[in-house]
Amino acid sequence: MISIINTEPRFVCDDNLGKLARYLRVGGFDTVFDKNIADSAIIQISLDEQRHILTRDHRLIERTLVRDYFLIENNLWPDQLRTVMNHFGLQFKKERMFVRCLEDNTVIVPVEKKEIKDLVYPFTYKTHDEFRQCPICKRVYWSGTHITVITDRLKQNGFVIVDQGTGSATGGL
CB of 54 or CB of 101, closer to Zn ion: 101
Number of residues near Zn ion (by CB under 5 A): 8
Q: Which stretch binds Zn ion (CB under 5 A): 26-34, 71-79, 126-134, 155-163?
A: 126-134
**What does the chain look like in DSSP terms, one character per residue?**
---HHHHS--EEE-TT-HHHHHHHHHTT--EE--TT--HHHHHHHHHHHT-EEEES-HHHHTSTT--SEEE---SSHHHHHHHHHHHHT--EEGGGTT-B-TTT-PBPEEE-GGGGGGGS-HHHHHH---EEE-TTT--EEESSHHHHHHHHHHHHTT-EEEETTTTEEEE--
Q: In this chain, which stretch among 20-28, 54-62, 129-137, 152-160 interacts with Zn ion, using CB under 5 A?
A: 129-137
Which residues from 134-163 bind Zn ion, rule CB under 5 A?
Answer: 134, 136-137, 139
Residue 104 engages Zn ion in binding (rule: CB under 5 A): yes
Q: Least distance (Å) from Zn ion to the CB of residue 32? A: 13
Binding test (CB under 5 A) with Zn ion, winner from 13, 53, 101, 116: 101
The reply to whether 34 sits near Zn ion by the rule CB under 5 A is no
The answer to whether residue 109 forms part of the interface with Zn ion (CB under 5 A) is no
Stretch that binds Zn ion, among 63-71, 78-86, 130-138, 142-150 (CB under 5 A): 130-138
Neighbours of 4 (CB within 10 A): 7
Task: Name the residues that contact Zn ion, by CB under 5 A.
Answer: 101, 103-104, 106, 134, 136-137, 139
